[in-house]
Amino acid sequence: MKNTVIAKRYAKALFAVGKEGNAFADFTKTLNAMSELFAGMPEVADALTNPLYPVEAREKVMEHLLTSMQVSQVLGNFFKLLVQKKRANILPDIAAVFQAMVDADNNMCQGTVVSAMELTPELSAKVKATLEKITGKQVVLTSQVDPSIIGGIVAKVGDLVLDGSIKSQLAGLKESIKGSE
Amino acid sequence: MQIKAEEISQIIKGQIKDYESKVDLSETGTVISVGDGIARVYGVEKCMAMELLEFPGGILGIALNLEADNVGCAILGDVRKIKEGDTVKRTGRIAEVPVGPEMEGRVVDGVGTPIDGQGPLNAKHSSKIEVLAPGVIARKSVHEPCYTGAKAVDAMTPVGRGQRELVIGDRQIGKTALCVDAIIAQKYTDVHCVYVAIGQKKSTVALVVEALRKHGAMEYTTVVAACASDPAPMQYVAAFAGCAMGEYFRDNGQHALIIYDDLSKQAVSYRELSLLLRRPPGREAYPGDIFFNHSRLLERSCKVNDALGAGSLTALPIIETQAGDVSAFIPTNVISITDGQVYLEPNLFFAGVRPAINVGLSVSRVGGAAQVKAMKQVAGTLRLDLAQYRELAAFAGFGSDLDAATQAQLTRGARLVEILKQPQYQPLPMEKQICILFAGTRGYLDTLPVDSLAEYEQQLYAHIEKNQPSIYDDLKEKKAIDAALEEKIRATLQAFGESFKAAKGLK
């Protein structure tokens, strides 16, 4: 997260290009796939960022990657530029910032909901509706299951956290008993 | 004490029953980096300046830098427990401290948490630590004295209620002693006191608290202690926290006296904080707003007008100089902000003149407005007499023959210097000060040897109390010396002087 300033600059440029070509959906998909690749396969990230390999070699790796992923011309250029400028390491940051920019443009935001058990579709729709009411934006909800919260749900949208989990309530109860001693 | 297990389970049962389960809605961020008491936090987008942020474990921080993509935050607590990636919660509160009469007699840290082991504060009010100083309309000029109990200060550099009088000098020459005496001097007045210790040793603070307690001054005093081992943000904030506690009295039509001991250390901790927040350094590496830091703090000490209750907050900030250098950055800044200064000098201190006040360099810009008429009558010429004495004493050092007039002036001067000496923890009320100063300036001491004057002074007070208590009462009541009173004082001094000489076997 330290390189957000630089990531913002690159994302902004890409955003401007995407707006002209109306290619946000394609861009976000590819960027997210790329950032997942970085997270999932550190060897790929290493091959693209490690300064021990000459820049030409790294560029070649990127080119192979691009042809195998069938990336559009514009985005392909963008990735090559990143490798050339030795900024490939901030690719995940760029993906995140770009996603946020596209969301803001569409009046949308990403939310996560954590629950102890799998949520039923009705419940998850209800959570989504509530979050949309609070934020005034369309919420794209992803759900996670974490048994450690015991019960209830924790919903996050951006900086906002709605914590209704049994875990945090127990912690609060503990504090209140300790505090009044 | 016997602990009943049954009772405890009942209490816990009650607490569990009363515990309200509610969904916790909070805005959060994550710690990007942490170190040296500063955390950079990503997120918390709606964070306000000076807002308190909560770190895991209930540690609080103050948001000081609001930048485009992160918030610079000073941590008020144990930094070691905070890690990168921790979740930070907004509290929605601007930094505040508990205030009110419940604070008196307590020792608290820089954010108002009690550290004296006397249980919770139970304060009913709290107040923001950073508030704007009262404006021009809300003020009134300083017109009533706030006695410090030190003869030299009250006679020549009087402090009025609502005034800011700087106490400046090198280390170890009695700056704190002078201010602690000023607190003790408020014992029989309606002035509440706040003593803010910044960057001092814990042992020193303990000694001050002990001294105050011993002299019965703790009942009306709050001690705010941000010691040397506390993090820099705490030391920086302590001065403002103490000020907020004093302001409570000012805004409720009461009077308060606050002592900042000392502002040089506060400046140093603010410099540390600013540099770690990467604010650009200026002269002596202090940040550009170091002047503003002190001016906005000291501006809050003032006398408010009658419509607002006519309360006052008097400030005695302390500045420590290095080898008497008053032209360093921080001393010049604070000198220009305050309404005068009391300058303490090592030479005088080691020559036995204690309090070691340099009369020539000490001034009070409020001046006579903060003195009662009686004090003006006896001390009016004191400053001039002493100035002339110093000039002549320098010449007389050559050992040449002196004419009678010069001799007289030297005799008078030596005695005046002697009576302005005062032992620690013995502040004097106004009426006693006037009596001894009257004796000094009107020549009743000229025939006495200099080394007997301390004894003379003590016996004089006892003598008046025993034989002529009406002198004290009249001075307290009229606050001026009229012809009748002057006659009475003269007669008493004459009679006492003779009996003192007789007892000592002097001619």
Q: Could you read off the pLDDT of B42-87 as tens digits, one per residue? A: 988 889 999 999 998 889 999 999 988 889 999 988 888 899 999 9
Secondary structure (DSSP) of B426-482? ----HHHHHHHHHHHHTTTTTTS-GGGHHHHHHHHHHHHHHH-HHHHHHHHHH-S--
Instruction: Out of A5, A169, A177, name the one closest to residue B21 (CB).
Output: A169
CA B359-B172-B145 angle, to 5 degrees, is: 45
- The residue type found at A164 is G
% of residues, chain B, pLDDT over 90: 80
A80 touches A62 (CB < 8 A): yes
Closest by alpha carbon to B21, among A110, A166, A54? A166
Which residues of B are less than 8 Å from A175 in CB distance? 58
In A, minimum Cα distance to B15 occurs at: A177
Does residue A181 register a pLDDT over 90? no
Q: Report the residue of A114, A150, A159 to disrupt the B interface, i.e. the one with the largest count of B CBs within 10 Å.
A: A159
Please give the average per-residue pLDDT across B262-270, as a whole number: 96
pTM: 0.86
Please give the average per-residue pLDDT across A69-76, as a whole number: 85
Is B106 assigned a catalytic role? Answer: no
Summarised one tens digit per residue, pLDDT across range B407-434 is: 888 999 999 999 999 999 999 999 999 9
Q: Is B258 exposed, middle or buried (0-12, 13-18, 19+ CB in 10 A)?
A: buried
Closest by alpha carbon to B379, among B440, B333, B444, B292? B440
Summarised one tens digit per residue, pLDDT across range B184-243 is: 999 999 999 999 999 999 999 999 999 999 999 999 999 999 999 999 999 999 999 999
A95 touches A34 (CB < 8 A): yes
Instruction: Out of A1, A5, A164, name the one closest to residue B23 (CB).
Output: A164
Q: Among A20-29, B336-345, B428-437, B447-456, which stretch is predicted with the lowest mean pLDDT?
A: A20-29
Does residue A3 register a pLDDT over 70? no
Instruction: Give the number of C-alpha atoms closer than 13 A to the C-alpha of residue B158, restricted to the C-beta side.
Output: 24
Closest by alpha carbon to A10, among A84, A99, A82, A108? A82
Closest by alpha carbon to B412, among B429, B437, B434? B437
Instruction: Out of A4, A158, A163, name the one closest to residue B69 (CB).
Output: A4
Does residue A171 register a pLDDT over 90? no
Whether B12 sits inside 8 A of A8 (CB atoms) is: no
Which residues of B are less than 8 Å from A154 in CB distance? none
For residue A91, name the pLDDT band (cuts at 50, 70, 90): confident
What single-letter DSSP state applies at residue B367? Answer: G
What single-letter DSSP state applies at residue B24? Answer: E
Q: How far is B27 from chain A (nearest CA, A)?
A: 4
Dihedral pair phi/psi, residue B249, rounded to 5°: -70, -45
- The residue type found at B109 is D
Please give the average per-residue pLDDT across B446-468, as a whole number: 93
Please give the average per-residue pLDDT across B375-395, as a whole number: 88
Q: From residue B297, give the alpha-carbon distance in Å to each of A151, B129, B131.
A: 50, 10, 9
Dihedral pair phi/psi, residue A69, rounded to 5°: -90, -10
Which residues of B are less than 8 Å from A161 in CB distance? 24-28
Compute and round to an integer the Cα radius of gyration of chain B: 27
Q: Among A63-72, B304-313, B329-338, B469-478, which stretch is predicted with the lowest mean pLDDT?
A: A63-72
d(CA B248, CA B238): 16
Please give the average per-residue pLDDT across B477-506, as a whole number: 92
Kindly report the average pLDDT of chain A as a whole number: 86
What tokens appear for B239 in the block? 């001065």
Q: How far is A15 from chain B (nearest CA, A)?
A: 19
Residues of A with CB under 8 A from a CB of B: 1-2, 4-5, 8, 158-164, 168-169, 172-173, 175-177, 180
What tokens appear for B370 in the block? 């903060």
pLDDT reported for residue B319: 97
A58 touches A47 (CB < 8 A): yes
For B341-378, b where at least 16 C-beta lie within 10 A, e where not — what string?
A: bbbbbeebbeeebbbbbbbeebbbebbeebbbebbebb
Residue identified by tokens 């409570």 is B248
Summarised one tens digit per residue, pLDDT across range A120-150 is: 889 888 888 888 888 888 888 888 898 998 8
In B, minimum Cα distance to A155 occurs at: B25
What tokens appear for B461 in the block? 């007070």
For residue B2, name the pLDDT band (cuts at 50, 70, 90): low
Give the three-state DSSP class for B33. Answer: strand
In B, minimum Cα distance to A169 occurs at: B21
Give the three-state DSSP class for B326. Answer: coil
In B, minimum Cα distance to A134 occurs at: B25
Instruction: Out of A2, A163, A176, name the one closest to residue B23 (CB).
Output: A163
pLDDT reported for residue B9: 82
pLDDT reported for residue B13: 80
d(CA B297, CA B246): 12
Please give the average per-residue pLDDT across B92-108, as a whole number: 94
In A, minimum Cα distance to B33 occurs at: A2
Please give the average per-residue pLDDT across B113-132, as a whole number: 93
Residues of B with CB under 8 A from a CB of A: 12, 15-16, 19, 21, 23-30, 32-33, 42-46, 58, 68-70
d(CA B507, CA B501): 7
B340-343: strand order across its sheet:
B107-108, B221-226, B191-198, B255-261, B312-320, B166-169, B340-343, B363-364
Kindly report the average pLDDT of chain B as a whole number: 92
A153-157 and A160-163 strand pairing: antiparallel
Residues 6+ apart with CB under 8 A from B403: none
pLDDT reported for residue A180: 56
Residue B324: CB atoms within 10 A of its CB come to 17
% of residues, chain A, pLDDT over 70: 97
d(CA B395, CA A53): 85
Number of Cβ pairs closer than 8 Å across A and B? 51
Dihedral pair phi/psi, residue B215, rounded to 5°: -95, 15
Which residues of A are less than 8 Å from B16 in CB distance? 173, 177
Q: From residue B296, give the alpha-carbon distance in Å to each of A68, A122, B14, B460.
A: 64, 57, 47, 45
Q: How far is B368 from chain A (nearest CA, A)?
A: 53
pLDDT reported for residue A55: 86
Does residue A47 register a pLDDT over 90? no
Q: What interface predicted TM-score (ipTM) does this complex get?
A: 0.72
Closest by alpha carbon to B238, among B5, B62, B456, B376? B62
B87-94 and B255-261 strand pairing: unpaired
Q: How far is B109 from chain A (nearest CA, A)?
A: 19
Q: How far is A16 from chain B (nearest CA, A)?
A: 20
What tokens appear for B65 in the block? 């830098």
Does residue B506 register a pLDDT over 60? yes
Which residues of A are less than 8 Å from B12 in CB distance? 177
Q: Which residues pair with A160 in a beta bridge?
A: A157, B27
Please give the average per-residue pLDDT across A96-108, as a whole number: 87
For residue A2, name the pLDDT band (cuts at 50, 70, 90): low
